[in-house]
Structure 1
Amino acid sequence: MLLQNPRAKGSAGISLHAKLLDQLGQAIVRGELAPGDPLPNADDWSAAHGVSRTVLREVIKVLAGKGMVESRPKIGTRIRDRSDWNFLDPDVLAWRYGTTTHAGDARSLFELRRAIEPMAGSLAAERANKAEIAKLEQLYEKMELYVDDNDRFAEADLAFHQAILRMTGNELFGSLAALTETAMLISFRLSDDNPYGQRPSLPLHRRVCDCIARRDPDGTRNALIELLDLAEADVHRSLAARSKPRE
């Protein structure tokens, strides 16, 4: 399963703006353009990529909004220090994890998920209404149905975890759905060659459903922590297997 940039979903192609944004964003994240470096000459860059200066300016505005570049009079546009970047931005997450990922990167990703999802599950167990719980049950049933189809399972799994965020009744948690979507898609990509498949995670997803239905915040929190531990172990197993030299 390939990691898709969220902007490309549901479209037959990617606009010139989105394509240039991805190219420039990835170049910055990979270090091809280091902090303090100026952006290439606008005319040269526009000609090389077949886009207008207007499109380039729009892309620069987007990157500035993510904290990655800054423009100053008489100095031009330069790359900002990594400490200024918004690493929680879904695009920046996708660029950071889109090509190569190391064990330390995976650890950071799961630390982020553990900081959000178990607490959200606890609140969902306290606040979810019957209709929301029924919807979560339906999503779990889809996961059971598609457990041997990685792509369809991932779609249902993503919807399952995002539903829990919205079941908190807290709009701030709900707004984290885009962030967790990117984080989960990265997790799926890193573990899509897991030889054990998705079946080992079903009992824990079942327990999450049951704990929320029983109004058990602690049980929900613990089940989600175990689920994230299992997912992280799958990712590290996959990364270790990919790093071994082929015979």
Structure 2
Amino acid sequence: MELQCFPVTERPPELVPGRPQRAWMDRFAARHPYRCLPLAMANSSGWELLSPVGFTAEWNGGTHQQDITLRPDNPHPDFHKIAQTHFSHGVLTFHAGYLFRTPPGWSMWVMGPPNHVKDGIQPLAGVVETDWLPFPFTMNWIFTRPGKVRFEKGEPFCFITLLQDHTLHEIQPVIRRMDSDPELRHQYDVWEKHRSEFNQKIFRNDPEATKEAWQRYYFKGEFPEEVDAPAPEGHVNKRRLKAPKFG
């Protein structure tokens, strides 16, 4: 399978595999958020488009295009081709610089970098049918209040990942009592028991629990020892996506 990336500018933004690191996660004591496997996996389950230059964007609260001003740190020949104020109303627009083509049946989820927090501005997400679309899309952020925001050089302004969304309408959500699945009920009850006991030990500063720090069942893809079931197939706790190549 290929994700085809056709540059539509002479110098398109750098495209790199998603990186698991986040500054706010690094600042936590013992880098605690990295123990949350879903967080780290989301951060790296796609590709990032990086800003080629650092710049400041400022919105005065108005509804017109000129109410947002963009100031690059250094002169850059393509800056105003990448970052613009096309949609007005406090919306900052980025051009991806590529026309993407995905395999049949696969669309592209376009969003801000997962768990990448920016004060004063919010990324908008979109799903694009890139298996047929013959023109590129834009990535948009909306100011949440008047003021200034910074995008540093090399900071991701867009995150792309793929999904097979054409058959989503065929999926029927069903709400069932957990007792209707005795094995799942047992697995859940065992997990809940272990979780409660471990948290109580942590609260009491139990030396063994304190040293262990956190339970690793999900991270390792394991069930508690009281569950007689094989390890889940296909469990992944580190994502290594391919970097783009020239073809």
Same structural fold, with TM-score higher than 0.5 when normalized by the shorter chain? no
Whichever of the two has the greater Rg, that structure is: 2
Answer 1 or 2: which has greater helix percent.
1
Q: TM-score, normalised by structure 1?
A: 0.23
Answer 1 or 2: which has greater strand percent.
2
Q: TM-score, normalised by structure 2?
A: 0.23
